[in-house]
Amino acid sequence: MLEYAWLIPVIPFVAFLLIALLPKRTLFWEDGAVYGIAGAFGALALSVIVIWQVLMGETLTVDAPRTTWIIVGDFQIEFGIWIDQLTAIMLLVVSVVGTLVVIYSGGYMHEEGEGRRRYYAEIMLFISVMYGLVISDNYLQMFIFWELVGLCSYLLIGFWYTKPSAASAAKRAFIVTRVGDIMFMAGIIILFKYVGNLDFAQLFSESTAHQVPSDMMTLATALIFGGAIGKSAQFPLHEWLPDAMEGPTTVSALIHAATMVKAGVYLIARSYPLLVQAPDSLLLVAVIGGVTALIAATVALAANDIKRVLAYSTISQLGYMILGLGAGGYLVIHANSPGGYAAATFHLMNHAFFKALLFLCAGSVIHAIGTNDMRLMGGLGRKMRITSTTMLVGAIAIAGIPPFSGFWSKDEVLAAVYHAGEFDPAFFLLWAMGIATAFMTAFYMFRMWFMTFAGEPRSDYHAHESPKIMTVPLMILAGLAMVSGFALFIGEGFKGFMERSIEELVPGTAHETVGDVAVGIFTDPLTYVSLVLAVVGILLAYRMYYVPGFDRSVFAKGFSGKLQRALENRWYISKFYDDFAIRVVYAFSLVADLFDRYVIDGLVNGFAYLGGRGGNVLRRAQDGNVQRYTSLIIVGICLLLILVLYVLPWGGW
């Protein structure tokens, strides 16, 4: 059954073609939403079957059926599928979140009219290529889908392309991630140079380690990670993601929870067999992840746009995943433990559910009152009971309060980072950053929740609860956000499950039973550190944003005021890029312009001028004055005579 997994991306792709090409009157309800939902459900059903089979212990990796795409002489490129535990997790995330987002869109996009057809077509293509990405069995195939994911996110972020901010956000997302894509491509080119093949089956085999010199392996893996930096919005290429909020909220949910940004994390997890051969790259991965988590969390503290808070929280949580993968690599190398890898992928799954939930809740709020600005909200909890309750579930999950999902995976990531500290002390610092991030996450999520739903209305709005087609997906996601953390304890446990996808890397590791995992979590004092910090964060948000009479203006003065303004301006990173673009690129353009005008044109004009002036000088010789001709002839003869009589004999000719 697994060999039919290639049908998973085909089904949404067929839906995309139908929506895009069918005559308008055959699109039925909501201009094609029916085909979208049908396609998403078809892929979901197949994914569930595949996931079930993987859970039963079947995988399809090295011996998967393959088809030849290009033959050039002896060289051929093959396409195939690669189904293992990691693929199963990604399929789960993409299918569940993708399907719920498409259903939710049925209500959310209702007012878009003609644009809905384009919307559903693009979103089905987006889901389709993301499925294609996760089942790819070689880097080239993956890169093609990787670029298609970038293209779809460009199209969807720029859905309202007549709005200049949306058009520029789309361009920014495309161009910034393209910087990462180039690095990714450079990385796989290096691998291709040494191995001559981009199939995972060959790259991940034992022999690859001997074919690629270790410094080249470090470079290649660091470049591949560069692709993830762009796609997963890691520092310093993270600024496109908050701007991507210009698209419809459903698109944000899809990008943040299931597709675009998860592709980068998936890439790192997929490249693990290569990464563990390059500890320097792993350290880079971990440091970038930790720095991103911290920076993004601080910016989220001061954001006033509800979607922007969520966007920065996504960046921060992605930082966690990347940090967990980096630390996990050290654990694989030194401790023969898959703990970090499992923790990061676990967080990837949990985050997909609660972040999709949070975004769709935010979409519901925006749908109801028509603004993103939390300063104009307040008191929505009474009007929108389902949205406010489900969003509270999401906020608790991301803040890391047990027993909701975020607690388990975040704790596992932090524990993995802390243990990696035994092998490189830098990880202790990264762990401290992670803990600080956990505290801030709890604070800003509840700040957002209190500002939106609690207290009194701060503007004149007429809110109403969203229709059922929107609230049902919210409730399903809330349920998942509550229980997905328990995957750690079901059957062989999430760790035992993920361990098998990299079992060649951790041979003979002592398998942790579910009981061990639970005991490990609850006897570790670090668990309580992060838990207490999360609770303190929530209480602080409660004190500052819920209890009336708290004067927040004290923070606007002096150093804290400066800090606040820095945060509101996103640490000036965005400004830096703008300035960079304006000043440096403009200055460069000026120089190029001057070069063109004075050097290139100057050269051309100079030759013309030289010819003109030279002619002016030379024509004096041809002035028709016979006496001057005579003089020149005589001088010439004298010179020739001197040459022939004296110079040439003297030179020895």
**How far is Cα 438 from Cα 412, in angstroms, rounded to an integer?**
13
Closest distance between other proteins and the C-beta of residue 623, in Å?
6
Rounded to a whole number, what is the largest CA-CA distance in the chain?
117
Dihedral sign for Cα 339, 344, 347, 349, please: negative
Minimum separation from the CB atom of position 626 to other proteins (A): 7
Q: How far is Cα 130 from Cα 635, in angstroms, rounded to an integer? A: 86
- Asked whether the bond before 457 is cis by omega within 30 degrees of 0, the reply is no
Binding site for other proteins (CB under 8 A): 619, 622-627, 630-631, 634
What are the backbone angles phi and psi of residue 425, rounded to the nearest 5°? -60, -20
Residue number with CB closer to other proteins (556 or 621): 621
Q: Is 653 exposed, middle or buried (0-12, 13-18, 19+ CB in 10 A)?
A: exposed
**Shortest CB 628 distance to other proteins, Å:** 8
Q: Residue 137, SS3?
A: coil
Taking the complex as a whole, the smallest distance from the CB of residue 615 to other proteins amounts, in Å, to 12
Tokens 């929506």, located at residue: 19
Q: Which is nearer to other proteins, 560 or 631 (CB)?
A: 631
Pick from 100, 108, 147, 105: which is nearest to 126 by CA? 147
Half-sphere exposure of 296 (CA within 13 A, CB side): 34
Cα–Cα distance between 442 and 402 in angstroms, integer?
13
Nearer to other proteins, 560 or 630 (CB): 630
Give least dist CB 634 to other proteins, A.
Answer: 6
Q: CB nearer to other proteins: give 589 or 630.
A: 630
Concatenated DSSP letters for 405-441? Answer: HHHHHHHHHHHHHHHHTTT-THHHHHHHHHHHHHHHH
> How far apart are alpha carbons 74 and 63 in whole angstroms?
21
Distance CA 62, CA 129 (A): 22
Q: How far is the CB of 646 from other proteins (least distance, A)?
A: 17
Q: Which is nearer to other proteins, 336 or 631 (CB)?
A: 631
Shortest gap between Cβ of 649 and other proteins (angstroms)? 21
* Residue nearer to other proteins on the CB measure, 210 or 619: 619
Nearest to 504 by CA among 99, 127, 85, 46: 85
Taking the least distance from each CB to other proteins, the nearer of 459 and 631 is: 631
E strand or H helix at 450: helix 426-453
* Of 72 and 626, CB closest to other proteins: 626
Phi, psi (deg, nearest 5) at residue 305 = -90, 125
Residue number with CB closer to other proteins (557 or 620): 620
- To other proteins, the closest distance from the beta carbon of 635 in angstroms equals 10
For the CB of residue 640, give the shortest distance to other proteins in the complex, in Å.
15
Task: Report the SS3 class of residue 557.
Answer: coil
